[in-house]
Amino acid sequence: MQLQYQGSPFSDPGFSAPELQLSSLPPAVVSFKTWHALDDRERLSHAQGAFLALTQHLQLVGDDQRDLNPGSPMLLAQIRAARLRAQGLLGNMAAIMTALGLPIPPEEDTLGVVPFGASAFERKCRGYVVTREYGHWTDRAVRDLALLKAKYPG
């Protein structure tokens, strides 16, 4: 839905631009072999870092979209919902890490100075990247948690 609001090329059917990345956001895509071989600490700390970055980036994207699409309350509500879910997942990760006796990395500012002065098109691009990565990371977190559950039943 978010893509529809941005106009072409984002709204073109089947649009995909995997080459578009934000350096401040860890990419979810990783080779299966690499992902499977991660140990518990690495697995959870990657996810935790990603969702921390995602909550901050979703805030940025929400601000961007409020300017780019002012008359679209549903879009803004969706972005807010995504950010809250990311925060929820962050909490889940922290709880699991504590249960496993792993240290929780401190919160850091993942955005830095990047946001200011971006043009309208640049903001549309980063909106696309953030929502794409949010989707990918959520899928990956589901797999991560399934794996951990199998490993530590109960």
Q: Is 12 in the site for another protein (CB under 8 A)?
A: yes
Nearest one of 109, 114, 112, 129 to 28, comparing CA atoms? 129
Q: Is 68 in the site for another protein (CB under 8 A)?
A: yes
Q: Is 113 in the site for another protein (CB under 8 A)?
A: no
Binding piece for another protein, criterion CB under 8 A, among 54-62, 91-99, 117-125, 139-147 = 117-125
How would you class 91 by CB atoms within 10 Å of its CB: exposed for 0-12, middle for 13-18, buried for 19 or more?
Answer: exposed
Binding piece for another protein, criterion CB under 8 A, among 12-20, 38-46, 99-107, 146-154 = 12-20
Nearest one of 137, 111, 147 to 47, comparing CA atoms? 137
Cα 113 from Cα 111, distance rounded (Å): 6
Q: 72-111: which residues touch another protein (CB under 8 A)?
A: none
Q: Is 42 in the site for another protein (CB under 8 A)?
A: no
Q: Is 119 in the site for another protein (CB under 8 A)?
A: yes
Identity of residue 127: G
Q: Which residue has the tokens 């490993």?
A: 151
Q: Which is nearer to another protein, 126 or 140 (CB)?
A: 126
Which of residues 43, 83, 124, 126 is near another protein by CB under 8 A?
Answer: 124
CB 23 within 8 A of CB 131: no
Report DSSP state, residue 102.
Answer: P
Q: Is 125 in the site for another protein (CB under 8 A)?
A: yes
CB 61 within 8 A of CB 79: yes
Which of residues 1, 4, 9, 143 is near another protein by CB under 8 A?
Answer: 9
Q: Is 70 in the site for another protein (CB under 8 A)?
A: yes
Which parts of this chain interact with another protein (CB under 8 A)? 5-9, 12, 17, 19-20, 67-70, 119-121, 124-125
